[in-house]
Amino acid sequence: MVLAAARPDRADSALLQRLAAQITGRPDAPTAAEIEAMKHPVGASFVPERYAFEDA
């Protein structure tokens, strides 16, 4: 949710932004390091290139 809300093509989604804000406001929310780690596949990635993170 947090990763999706950070995408430029999802910035206008009010619902997504509200849900991400609820998640990041929780005491057990993922840290910045955990969120960054989510951008990098652990194994083979089958995500189409157009959806890949530019800096990943």
Number of domains forming the structure of the chain: 1
* 8 Å CB contact between 41 and 6: no
Query: 47 in a domain, yes or no?
Result: no
* Segments of the chain assigned E as strands: none
The domain of 32 spans: 2-39
Query: 16 in a domain, yes or no?
Result: yes
The pLDDT score that the predictor gives to residue 14 is 96
The pLDDT score that the predictor gives to residue 55 is 57
Which tens digit of pLDDT belongs to each residue from 10-56? 989 999 999 999 999 999 999 999 988 988 878 777 878 888 776 54
d(CA 19, CA 6): 12
* Predicted model pTM: 0.63
Helices (H) and strands (E) in the chain, counts: 3, 0
- Is residue 4 predicted with pLDDT exceeding 70? yes
The pLDDT score that the predictor gives to residue 54 is 66
